[in-house]
């Protein structure tokens, strides 16, 4: 008998789950609250790691296509002092495929392929234990029942409450994102400053990170320690007031670095929240979580990679279960918790060092993790 399976969320983890299930011949319903694939900006580029995100794409039969779309040169990393002095300038070898970059939109389109996403299906609540399965409640008032519901709906997951009462807490660090377009023509000096990959500058309890995306696009992230309500003052909708506030916060830094903020278009505030490092729950038949819904951690390169691999592994476990997949899901959760716990510890400690009272901590961390 065909099992009724739904995944809530059409991000990298949810789509990896659906794509691998599709490859094994199992239908899956993808419930995504966005009204269309391009309903909102997709966010910055992702670096997909060997053994994590790339392993998930291999399970989905998409590794070759990924390699054609990805940018190995995007692995480059440059660190500058606040006065503009170059402290580190690491560049990958031509054959280095450890963690090449890919734009989120390109990755989404690659994973979507033949999948049928139900766009505009915002989920408000997931209720297990019904006689006919797990009941999913939608924002439009409708309800639908499934045998298995996978919550891949991110930091503020509506599925999480079905298995865990825990909610994310603020890390004390806020990131403000801005961007520059057509940098080769309009901002060639900043294009050269950032290089082919990412550039970072670390100060006292603050940092400035710029990341090259494809199509002449650069994402810029100003990160700093502040109370949670700091992102409401000034008004986030007042771009010029936000710009002036950031320029004041990073005052005294070299002019070319501040130009990343002066010339940025639009500002998005992102207070960084996390779940407890050891977050887990008592297994609930018919419902499970993956990715940020299960183990939200600081955004230091692990989140999407873990979500994709978890989606692929869960899909294989479900596809390989001859009957009720509950035991396979339970075993998946144990494996996920162990791996995610290790990464949560790493990324939590990393954020403490990257936005630190001592900027030397960030440089030391780079030297510890970067290949020679």
* Domain stop point among 258, 274, 290: 274
Range of the domain at 216: 169-274
Task: Tell whether 133 is covered by a domain.
Answer: yes
Same domain as 199, residue 303? no
pLDDT digits (tens, 9 = 90+) for 197-213: 999 999 999 999 999 99
Same domain as 137, residue 123? yes
pLDDT of residue 294: 98
Same domain as 292, residue 154? yes
Same domain as 157, residue 174? no
pLDDT of residue 41: 78
Same domain as 152, residue 33? yes
CB 297 within 8 A of CB 303: yes
Q: Output the average pLDDT for the chain.
A: 95
* Domain stop point among 274, 300, 322: 274
Task: Tell whether 212 is covered by a domain.
Answer: yes
Same domain as 134, residue 202? no
CATH at 153: 3.50.50.60
C-alpha 201 chain-centroid distance: 21
Exposure string for 39-74, b = 16+ CB within 10 A, e = fewer: eeebbbbbbbbeebbbbbbebbebeeebeebbbbbb
pLDDT digits (tens, 9 = 90+) for 265-310: 999 999 999 999 999 999 999 999 999 999 999 999 999 999 999 9
CB 240 within 8 A of CB 119: no
Task: Tell whether 269 is covered by a domain.
Answer: yes
Task: Tell whether 238 is covered by a domain.
Answer: yes
> pLDDT grade, residue 1 (50/70/90)?
low
Same domain as 214, residue 154? no
The pTM score is 0.95
Instruction: Name the nearest CA neighbour of 262 among 274, 253, 270, 273.
Output: 253
- Helices and strands, number each (H, E), in the chain: 12, 17
With 80 as the cut, is the pLDDT of residue 171 above it? yes
The whole-number average pLDDT for the span 248-274 is: 96
**Proportion of the chain above pLDDT 90, given as a percent:** 90
* Count of domains observed in the chain: 2
């Amino acid at each position: 008998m065909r099992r009724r399976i739904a995944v809530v969320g059409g991000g990298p983890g949810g789509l990896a789950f659906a794509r691998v299930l599709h490859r094994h011949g199992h239908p899956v319903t993808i419930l995504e609250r966005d009204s269309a694939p391009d309903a909102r900006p997709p966010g910055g580029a992702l670096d997909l790691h060997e053994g994590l995100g790339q392993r998930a794409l291999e399970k989905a039969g998409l590794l070759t296509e990924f390699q054609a779309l990805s940018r190995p040169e995007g692995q480059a990393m440059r660190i500058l002092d606040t006065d503009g002095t170059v402290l580190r300038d690491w560049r990958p070898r031509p054959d280095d495929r450890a963690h090449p970059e890919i734009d989120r939109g390109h990755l989404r389109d690659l994973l979507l392929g033949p999948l049928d996403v139900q766009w505009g299906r915002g989920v408000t609540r997931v209720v297990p234990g019904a006689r006919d399965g797990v009941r999913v409640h939608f924002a439009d008032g409708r309800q639908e029942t499934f045998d298995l519901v996978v919550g891949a709906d991110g930091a503020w997951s509506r599925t999480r409450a079905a298995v865990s009462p825990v909610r994310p807490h603020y890390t004390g660090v806020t990131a403000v994102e801005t961007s520059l377009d057509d940098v080769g023509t309009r901002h060639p000096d900043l294009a050269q400053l950032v290089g082919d990959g990412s550039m970072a500058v670390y100060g006292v309890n603050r940092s400035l990170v710029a990341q090259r995306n494809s199509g002449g696009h650069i994402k810029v992230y100003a990160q700093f320690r502040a109370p949670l309500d700091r992102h409401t003052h000034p008004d986030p909708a007042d771009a010029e007031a936000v710009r002036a506030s950031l320029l004041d916060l990073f005052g005294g830094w070299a002019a070319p670095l501040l130009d990343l903020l002066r010339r940025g278009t639009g500002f998005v505030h992102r207070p960084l929240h996390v779940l407890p490092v050891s977050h887990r729950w008592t297994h609930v038949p018919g419902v499970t979580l993956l990715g940020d819904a299960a183990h939200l951690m600081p955004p230091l390169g692990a989140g999407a990679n873990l979500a994709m691999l978890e989606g692929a592994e869960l899909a294989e476990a479900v596809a390989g279960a001859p009957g009720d997949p509950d035991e396979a899901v339970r075993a998946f959760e144990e494996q996920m918790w162990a791996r995610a716990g290790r990464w949560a510890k790493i990324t939590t400690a990393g954020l403490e060092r990257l936005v630190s009272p001592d900027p030397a901590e960030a440089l030391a961390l780079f030297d510890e993790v970067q290949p020679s």
